[in-house]
Structure 1
Amino acid sequence: MKPVPDEVVLRQLHWRYATKKFDPTRKIAAEDWRSLEQALVRSPSSFGLQPWKFFVVTDPDLKATLKTASWNQSQITDASHLVVFAIKKNLGAADVDRYLARIAEVRSVPLESLDGFKKMLLGSLSRPVEEVNAWATRQLYIALGFFLSAAAMLGIDACPMEGFQPEQYDAILGLTEMGYGATVLATAGYRADDDPYVKLPKVRFKPEDVVVHLNG
């Protein structure tokens, strides 16, 4: 596999920003969206357990309803796609069994050969529910970062968003009944020409201020 040149990666990472104003007339092409969905599907997680679901919203009426639970931020309705990143709440034995069955299927191994791994997973999930949900939330942010980076590589604008009311999202989308909880959002599409944030220099600390090399 030929790697993406360093200059391309750095160029796209510099190009991206948290888009505050999207062009509502521009939509993400189906082929590009399939690639972004694959980025979500292929996101890494601890143990590979994938304690999440990604709810994709493109319906204008539903986005308008969700906007009222998002402090009326325009990205919700103007972006081509809205992704609701949701954790699987109350993870337990059924989730472990589902994951192990998938491992056995994909890797063509006997299910019983995974008994040791199963015991380890169940032990990790035996912690208090609040701790497990917090762990699942941390995994979800890995997927969010994966999504934002993939969007940048494709030349698609995106904005991570925590400014919304999770309980209202859960109610509107019926997530509670499914056992999930809205945790963070990402809108994706294309920047508006008059977004004032486009021309603002990106403010980051110098590498030496945030990266520490420990050479022993």
Structure 2
Amino acid sequence: MDKLAQAFNFRHACKKFDDTQKINQQDIEYILEAGRLSPSSFGMEPWHFIVVNNNELKKQLRAVCYNQEQVTSCSHFVIVLYRKANNFTLQSDYLRRTIARTLPDATDQTAIDIACQAFINFYQQGLADGLSINHWSEMQGYIACTNMMTAAAYRGIDSCAIGGFEHDKLIQILENNIALFSKETFGVGLCLAFGYRANEPDSHIRWPLADITTYLTETN
């Protein structure tokens, strides 16, 4: 079994961390770098990572995450934000700077206008019924989350993805602790707890590959 396969088999949803063990800075940055380098639709990278290793703040967060123990027993708690609709208007500084990176001339405002409008047309007309640009942005963040959890497992670090939280109350905690944070600009997609397991996990339960795979092949 190669190292990547070992990481997939090592990773599990760790519900109880050993709170005496802390992740070093080099390893936490390795995990975050996996998120930073993740693919995203149109290369928008519509995420931001809040890293919490303050015990008092983790206690506050646990209260709005339905008292899940892993929030406070983990070494580092990462809140993965997604950018909301006001980041994706023609006048948005974020959208214009993101688009400009991909153009031959990053100062050509007409070219930036055209490329930005093409993206706006996509999300106004091309998303599935019922989906908004906020939904699209949140889904991009899940890609980064997956890569961060895999990178952690590759280093022998455990993780747990937490989608069970009171969104508005979590947002309020962020507004109280981050001066420039705005609920108009960001939403919370997922939270990730990282640390070292206190107990050995049960075996993975997964469907066999044959049950979840359909091949469409050429016929002679």
Q: Is this a same-fold pair by TM over 0.5?
A: yes
Q: Which residue of 2 aligns with 1:117?
A: 115
Q: How does 1:32-181 map to 2 (within 5 A)?
A: 32-90=27-85, 91-93=87-89, 94=92, 95-103=94-102, 109-112=105-108, 116-126=114-124, 131-174=132-175, 175-177=181-183, 179-181=185-187
- Structure 2 length as normaliser, TM-score? 0.85
Q: Is the 8 A contact 2:88 2:95 kept in 1?
A: yes
Q: More deviation in 176-185 or 203-212?
A: 176-185
Task: Check the 8 A contact 2:96/2:112 in 1, yes or no.
Answer: no
SS of the counterpart of 1:68?
helix
Q: Tell me which amino acid in the other structure corresponds to 2:132.
A: E
Look up the match of 1:3: none
Distance 1:214 1:103 in 2: 35
Change (3 A) 1:162 1:110: closer
- Structure 1 residues 153 and 10: CA distance shift in structure 2, 3 A: same
Partner of residue 30 from structure 1, selected from 12, 15, 25 = 25
Letter in 2 for 1:29: N
TM-score (norm 1): 0.86
**Judging changes above 3 Å, is the alpha-carbon distance between structure 1 residues 115 and 201 closer, same or farther for their aligned structure 2 residues?**
same
Structure 2 counterpart of 1:151, one-letter code: A
What secondary structure, in the 3-state scheme, does the structure 2 residue paired with 1:124 have? helix
- Deviation of 1:171 after TM superposition, in Å, equals 0.6
Given that 2:17 and 2:196 are in contact with CA atoms closer than 8 Å, whether structure 1 keeps it comes out as yes
Q: How many corresponding residue pairs?
A: 204
Structure 2 unaligned spans of 5+ = 176-180
Query: Which amino acid in 2 is paired with 1:92?
Result: F
For residue 33 of structure 1, report the CA deviation from its aligned partner: 1.0
Q: Is the 8 A contact 1:19 1:159 kept in 2?
A: yes
Query: Judging changes above 3 Å, is the alpha-carbon distance between structure 1 residues 139 and 214 closer, same or farther for their aligned structure 2 residues?
Result: same
Backbone CA RMSD of aligned residues:
2.1
| 1:185 corresponds to 2:184 | no
Describe the shift of the 1:36–1:178 C-alpha distance in structure 2 as closer, same or farther (beyond 3 A): farther
**Distance between the aligned counterparts of 2:30 and 2:42, measured in 1?**
24
Deviation (angstroms), 1:135: 0.8
Query: Aligned residues: percent identity?
Result: 30
Shift of 1:143: 1.1
The answer on whether the counterparts of 2:12 and 2:201 sit within 8 Å (CA) in structure 1 is no
TM-fit CA distance, 1:83: 0.7
- Stretches of structure 1 that go unaligned for 5 or more consecutive residues are 1-5
